[in-house]
Amino acid sequence: MNEFGANLVAMVTPMQPDGSISPDGLAGLVDHLLATGCDGLVVGGTTGESPTLTEPEAAGLVRSVVARAGNRARVIAGVGTYDTAASVRRAREAEAAGADALLVVCPYYARPTQAGVVAHCRAVADATDLPVMLYDVPARAGIAMTAATLTELAAHPRIRAVKDAKGDLFEAMTVLTRTSLAYYCGIDKLNLPYLACGAAGLVSVVGNVAADRTADLITAVRRGDLESARAIHGSLQPLVEAIMRPGPGATTAKAALAELGIIPHATVRLPLVEAPERQQLVEALATIAA
């Protein structure tokens, strides 16, 4: 296992009907993910509803997941916000809570310049001794990390990976040739193309309910069996569509997990609301159970 893992899942944060974090739901979800082949648990990321988590809640989640997972998977803590000082605090708290690595999103809402993005990411990376995975997600952040920015940040000794939710394969391949950054696909519908282009692994939302399939996909690509990889990727398409197209992924992934009985409730915090229609999810889940 490398410092991040390969088959990473962007975990939801299980909650009680009153919106409080569910310890039993969290323990059950961690057990499920480990049993289905996940070797990296991303805690408190976008799918984990990070904007609504208080700093004590975020650190508590890391402690709970680390305690449950033991040494069976890497625990990557989402610590990025639009506020550099808050991100630095969260990074230090995650390190104290036992995280193995950090996920740092491109600062959202503020729309800083690329120089600001570089300064922000370096400040967070300087705050701890943990390896850092950058999270490039322009659809949510409002800005992208350019290839030049990623190349510049790659010079930092603790910035070692990128979760790419931009979807620009040519740029990803360009950065891969220029740097030693490990790329992780953050768009489930593009898992196969990214792996085929040299990605080190996945950070999957769909993996909440199908980590065994994403593990098989990674294995097939690594052994050069593209025919099997295409078949696995194709078999996941109904589930990818049912979880990612209606979105947000936090709501639909929780609905799917609740349908399977892995978490007790599909509760999300406002401004998110529970997925109203589950028939497509139920049908997609039936395809992977067949």
pTM: 0.96
Q: Is 1 inside a domain boundary?
A: no
Kindly state the average pLDDT of the residues 245-253.
Answer: 91
Distance of CA 76 to the CA centre of its chain: 9
Enter the tokens of residue 174. Answer: 């360009």
- Reported as a single tens digit per residue, the pLDDT across 151-174 is 999 999 999 999 999 999 999 999
Residue whose structure tokens are 């510049």 = 152
pLDDT above 90 (res 183) = yes
261: left (phi over 0), alpha (psi -120 to 50) or beta: left
Query: Which residue is listed with tokens 């992977």?
Result: 288
- Average pLDDT on 88-99 reads 98
Cis link prior to 248 (omega < 30° from 0)?
yes
Domain containing 168: what range?
Answer: 7-289
Measured CA to CA, the distance from residue 197 to residue 267 in angstroms comes to 37
Number of domains in the chain: 1
Q: Indicate the pLDDT class of residue 288, thresholds 50, 70 and 90.
A: confident
Catalytic status, residue 135: yes
Q: Is residue 2 part of a domain?
A: no
- Is the residue at 261 inside a domain? yes
CB 37 within 8 A of CB 215: yes
Separation CA 236–CA 229 (nearest Å): 11
Query: Tokens in use for 28?
Result: 């059950």
Cβ distance 179 to 235 under 8 Å?
A: no
163 in catalytic set = yes
193's CB contacts (< 8 A; 6+ apart) are 169
Q: Report pLDDT digits (tens) over 5-33.
A: 999 999 999 999 999 999 999 999 999 99
Whether residue 21 lies inside any domain: the answer is: yes
| Helix H or strand E segment including 134 | strand 132-136
In this structure, what CATH number is given to the domain that contains residue 18? Answer: 3.20.20.70
Among 82, 135, 184, 194, the one annotated catalytic: 135
Which position among 82, 108, 109, 163 bears the catalytic label? 163
Predicted confidence (pLDDT) per residue in 97-144, tens digit: 999 999 999 999 999 999 999 999 999 999 999 999 999 999 999 999
Please report, as a single letter, which amino acid is at residue 252.
T
pLDDT at 238 (0 to 100): 95
35-49 pLDDT, tens digit per residue, is: 999 999 999 999 999
Tell me: pLDDT of 277 over 90. no
Mean pLDDT of the chain: 96
User: What type of residue is 18?
Assistant: D
Q: Would you tell me how many other CB atoms lie within 10 Å of the CB of residue 24?
A: 11
